[in-house]
Amino acid sequence: MNAIELERQVCAANYAPLPIMLSHGEGVWLTDVAGVKRLDMMSGYSAVSLGHGHPRILKVLSEQARKLTVTSRAFHSEPLGPFLAKLCAVSGQEMALPMNTGAEAVETAIKAARRWGYRVKGIADGKAEIIVADGNFHGRTTTIVGFSSDEGYRDGFGPFTPGFVNVPFGDAAAVEAAITPNTAAIMIEPIQGEAGIVVPPMGYLKRLRDLCDANNVLLILDEVQSGLGRTGRWFAHEHEGIRPDGLIVGKALGGGVYPVSAFLASRDVMRLFEPGSHGSTFGGNALAAAIGLEALNIIEEERLVERSAEHGAYMKRRLAAMTQGLARDVRGAGLWVGVDLDPSAASAKTVVSALAGAGVLTKETHETVIRFAPPLTISRAELDWGLDCCEAVFASFAGRAGAAAA
C-alpha cells in the first residue's frame, strides 16, 4: 500500500487533494516523494506567505522551543507583549486577543460584536444581529457554516445559530437596507478568497464604513487570507483608506510553521472581555508569539508588501494575456489572482491537474476558478518560470477549445 492509499484508508475524506505526496519544501518550491520539484503557487491558502522553511522563522522556532513552548495564559510569557504590540502597530488597532486558527479568531470577533451590542449599544438580550455577505468563507465551525450561503458547507450540520443576516457581496445598498436597531456589526472579507478571489467595487468598503458610523454599528473585516501583504498592502482595506472597528488575522502570521491568529480592535471593544469570558489553551502561547513577531518583522524588513504589489500586478497582466479566449475574468490584487475559466472551454480541476504535471501547484475553487497565490518571497525569475509553465498549459487548452469549435 502506498502512502496516498494509506492516507485514504485512515483519514476522513474532508479534502480532495491532488494525488501528489509531498516530501519537503524550501522557499517557493515543493518536492514530492519521487523527487519531482514543483513551484508552489498556492501558499497553503496564504499560510505560507513567507515561503517554506524561512530560515529566520526556523531559527526563532528552534530557539523558543528550547526555552519555553506552550504554557497556558494562567502565567505571563515574555514574547506575547512584543508580538501583540507589533501586530497592533502594523494594523492600526489598539489591542489584540490571540488565538490559533482563523476560525477561532472569527468566533472571537462574533463574541466581541455581540457583547458590544448588548453592553454598549443597548440591544435587547438575545436580539443582536450581524450582517454577513453571500459567498463568505470565515471558517468551518458550526456557528460559521450556519451563515454560509454554500449548501455544501451546511448540509447535515444544523440546527444553526441565529443572529446572522445575509446580503449580496459588494452591494452596499443591500447592507444599508438590512441594518436595523438590532444590528451590532457588519462582518465581511474585503476580498472573498474561497469564493474565487472576488473583488468588490471600489468604494464598497468606504460606503460600509460610512454606514457603520451613521448607524452605530461595528465594521469587522476578516483578513485571514487577504491580510499581511497578500494584496500588495499590509491589509486589503488599506486600498480604500479606511480603518475597521475589528480586524481578524491569521494564516501568514504563523510563518508557515505554526497556527497563529488574532482578533484586533479598540480598547473600548476589548475591555468588554474579562477573565473567563473567552480563552484558548494554546492561544497566545510563547512559541506562537515568538513566531508571529518574527513573521511580522520579516514582512516588514524584506519589503514583502511592496514585492507583492509589484510582482502581483505583473502576474495579473501575464495571466490575463495568456488566458484570453479561455477565461471569463481575471481578478485579484497583489499576489492573489483568480482566473475564472469559461466552463465550455475547460474545467478548473482539469487545468489544475495539467498545471501540476507541468510543475506548478495551485487549486481550483467553485469549479471554474483557479487561484494563484505564490509565497510573497517569490523572485521575478521564479515567478516567470511558473508563468511560462502556465502559459504553455493554457495554450494547450486553447488549442483544444479551438479544435472542438472547428
Residues catalogued as catalytic:
137, 222, 251
- Measure the CA angle with vertex 299, ends 47 and 241; round to 5°: 95
* Cell triple for 137: 468563507
DSSP 218-262: EEEEE-TTTTTTTTSSSSGGGGGT---SEEEE-GGGGTTTS--EE
**Closest CA relative to residue 320, chosen from 331, 307, 306:** 331
**Residue partners of 230: CB distance under 8 A and separation at least 6:** 46, 49, 236, 252, 308, 334, 335, 336, 373, 376
**Closest CA relative to residue 38, chosen from 49, 52, 25:** 25
d(CA 314, CA 332): 12
Q: Are 182 and 129 in contact (CB under 8 A)?
A: yes
3-class state of residue 18 by DSSP: coil
Q: Label residue 279 exposed, middle or buried (CB < 10 Å: 0-12, 13-18, 19+).
A: middle
* Cell triple for 89: 502597530
d(CA 138, CA 170): 16
Neighbours of 168 (CB within 10 A): 13
Amino acid letter for position 134 = D
* Cell triple for 38: 514543483
